[in-house]
Structures are given as C-alpha cells and as structure tokens.
Amino acid sequence: MKNLRLKSARAAMDLSQQELAEKVGVSRQTINAIEKGDYNPTINLCIAICRVLGKTLDELFWE
C-alpha cells in the first residue's frame, strides 16, 4: 500500500527523497520504495523518519 502520508509530510517540509534519505541514513531508493509501498521499514527507520518530519508513528505509518 502506498504511503501517501509520508510523501505528503515530506513535500510539506520541501524535502526531496534524497534529502530525507540523507537525514535518516538510507538511500533515496529506500525512501522511494517506502512511499510506493514496496518496502516495509524497520521500526527504527520509522522513528527516524518521524523525528525528521516532526510527525508521530500514528500519523505516518499506522492506520
């Protein structure tokens, strides 16, 4: 399932996939795969993304 909430939050902060990837220590392809729903990130990666974007796990990853 696509993660449009992640993509929207990233875009709202005017961050590219590459910029977010650098901030959390993964590749741009990893961020792309998460947004497309092709990759299920670890809880630690989810938390790192949430910290960068100023969101909670509920807001970005849990339904």
Per-residue model confidence (pLDDT) at position 62: 83
pTM of the model: 0.92
Long-range contacts of 27-33 (CB under 8 A, 24+ apart): none
Per-residue model confidence (pLDDT) at position 8: 96
Per-residue model confidence (pLDDT) at position 52: 97
Per-residue model confidence (pLDDT) at position 1: 79
**Which CATH entry fits the domain spanning 4-60: 3.40.50.300, 3.75.10.10, 1.10.260.40, 1.20.1250.20?**
1.10.260.40
14: its two tokens = 């005017």
Which residues, given as ranges, of the chain have pLDDT below 70?
Answer: none
pLDDT tens, position by position, 10-25: 999 999 999 999 999 9
What is the domain partition of the chain in residue ranges? 4-60
